Amino acid sequence: MTGVAPLIQLRNGAKLPALGLGTYGLTGDAGVASVRTALQAGYRLLDTAENYRNEETVGAGVAASGVPRSEVFVTSKFNREWHSVDGARKAFQASIERLGLDYLDLLLIHWPNPDQDQYVDAVRGLQALLEDGLVRAIGTSNFKPAHLRRVIDETGIVPDVNQIQLSPFHPREEDRAFAAEQGIVIESWTPIGGSGDGLRSDPVITEIARAHDKTAAQVILRWHHQLGLVAIPKSGDPQRQAENLAIFDFELTDDELAAISGLDRRGEGLADSDRQGH
């Protein structure tokens, strides 16, 4: 798989690009163009979901890019409606039909929805898809360590990936420690703090950015990379896409990493996956 980002080995053998493109909100012709330009710029990881209602857009962007399918790592996620062994297979089939693809590289359970209490069976369904060769890797999204521990204890299945809300405002040290212990790779959604510029304009970030002659977003994404996290920032702008990808030619010091991690807001504004989901 050729691309700008280095590759990370997953538990089940697939190799995950260390930086990807989030596609939430990218729809229609503009969305197709955004996916196409990202792939042509060197992205090789795309993240979509049933709930984004843009899998057709993402698939069309892959087709329009000229990049071989085998070089693109496509991820999707499914909703609570499909939290069963058979449901996971139905969700997979619906996703690949919308994407226009024959297989998925990574399929995730979008939220645990513990009120429904069926996420363990949903993981069993993912494992069956993996064993049948229909997906190359399996994972969870928004799972807390307690959710993951239950899955592992009851099934013996350890996901390749857990995708969670993570940024310097929410460094999620407990989640990262548990994932490292289990060999789970963490993907960070809203890695640069969401649509607002509060994180990017923080003096700690802007000072470090000036020192390295980089943008604030590049510094934040480099922080993710050096912590072993896979960030999936969303951007439809070709220039910003290219900037977000240009983080592999500099290095933050230990003091800089610690200063950025020190921006932790102690849970303020963090989505609670015990109480919300779809």
Catalytic residues: 52
Question: Three-state secondary structure along the chain?
Answer: CCCCCCEEECCCCCEEECECEECCCCCHHHHHHHHHHHHHHCCCEEECCHHHCCHHHHHHHHHHHCCCHHHCEEEEEECHHHCCHHHHHHHHHHHHHHHCCCCEEEEEECCCCCCCCCHHHHHHHHHHHHHCCCEEEEEEECCCHHHHHHHHHHHCCCCCEEEEECECCECCHHHHHHHHHHCCEEEEECCCCCCCCCCCCCHHHHHHHHHHCCCHHHHHHHHHHHCCCEECCECCCHHHHHHHHCCCCCCCCHHHHHHHHCCCCCCCCCCCCCCCCC
